[in-house]
Amino acid sequence: QVQLVESGGGLVQAGGSLILSCAASGRTFSEYGMAWFRQAPGKERDVVATISGSGGTTYYADSVKGRFTISRDNAKNTVYLQMNSLKPEDTAVYYCAARYGRLSGYADQYDYWGQGTQVTVSS
């Protein structure tokens, strides 16, 4: 059982930066691969970035590569998404998710989800 609480969303100007945080419960946090997904109205929930339990392996969607950075602090049971050079197309609800073991880019393979946090980027 893992519970996830997201924070850090808000309204930012295009070109600005924002950092999202996801605080997780559980003593085995380091055994879970973590991911950030996002979903805009009328669109599918798509992976943004993933990170392995140790933090040694990361994956980024092509649309955010070079602009976003996923990281984790296992001592704090927290995953972060640093978002730079934000674009209006980044506007979405962002969700953190946890999956025991291997990383995955598919939403239906994740076991636990946060409530989501809205990110709005103005043009």
**What digits encode the pLDDT tens for the residues 16-41?**
999 999 999 978 999 999 999 999 99
pLDDT confidence band for 101 (50 / 70 / 90): confident
How far apart CA 48 and CA 4 sit, in angstroms, is: 17
Residue with tokens 């602090």, as numbered in its chain: 73
How high is the mean pLDDT of the chain? Answer: 95
Give me the pLDDT at residue 1, please. 79
pLDDT confidence band for 87 (50 / 70 / 90): very high
SS3 content of the chain, % helix, strand, coil (to 5): 10, 50, 40
pLDDT confidence band for 103 (50 / 70 / 90): confident
Token pair, residue 50, equals 């993933």
Of 119, 62, 75, 123, give the one whose Cα is nearest residue 96. Answer: 119
Q: Cα-Cα-Cα-Cα dihedral of 74, 57, 99, 85, to 10°?
A: 80
